[in-house]
Amino acid sequence: MSYVIITGASRGIGKALSYEYAKQGFDLILTCEKNIKILIQNANDIKEKYNKKVYAIKGNINREYLNEIVNSKEDIYMLINNASKANYNLLQDVTKDEYDDIINSNLTTVFENTKAVLPRLIHQKKGIILNITSIWGLIGASNEVIYSMTKGGVIAFTKALSKEIFESNIECFAIALGSVKTDMIKNYETKNTITIEEAASFISHTTRNHNYKTGEIVEYKIEI
């Protein structure tokens, strides 16, 4: 059996992806930062609907725990670094605590989860690392300077890591989404947003059909 690991899976895109990949026949390892009760409820629902193994973890992936639950006859098909947090404020009004929180949620989690999973992928000599980023990491957004900075960091991380692991037969790419109608933007008026379902469908279609090159930043947006 093969596992898909999805971070930030308690709600939004991560939750939608969990159901999508379970429906495709994958076992799941799901993580979240805070909403562990909701994540466990989602995991139990997926188990009942699709009869798949589903593990719910609070926090980042631990390498030792990962090796305990994924046995030698199983492999990891893909790690999806999806966990993310937004901050809407003028740069001059962003506090150090807010800055640290966004950096930890959007960059440190990508580093820690990838580092934990990578040895297993290298041992398998196959696998995919997918980083969910944003078009704001490409073009920047007013009132979202720190968010844009972290998403740009994910893009650079993706391009650099793809070169580092290329010879291990591991693919690494990113999908830069446009404005997605999630809880992160529920208090803001936006137009031409992508729905959670549209985003999850696009991500699933892209990975299933390998519509990317390793190191590529695949954009999915509508005119804004």
Catalytic residues: 147
Q: Tokens representing 224?
A: 């804004």
Backbone angles phi, psi at 45, to 5 degrees: -65, -40
DSSP-derived secondary structure letter, 135? T
How far apart (Å, rounded) are the C-alpha atoms in residues 220 and 60?
A: 27
Distance of CA 55 to the CA centre of its chain: 16
Do the Cβ atoms of 79 and 131 come closer than 8 Å?
Answer: no
In 3D space, the residue among 196, 194, 150, 195 whose CA is nearest the CA of residue 174 turns out to be: 150
Q: How many residues does the chain have?
A: 224
In 3D space, the residue among 43, 52, 53, 218 whose CA is nearest the CA of residue 138 turns out to be: 218
Is 171 exposed, middle or buried, given 0-12, 13-18 or 19+ CB atoms closer than 10 A? buried
Q: Tokens representing 95?
A: 């506090």
Give the SS3 label for residue 34. coil
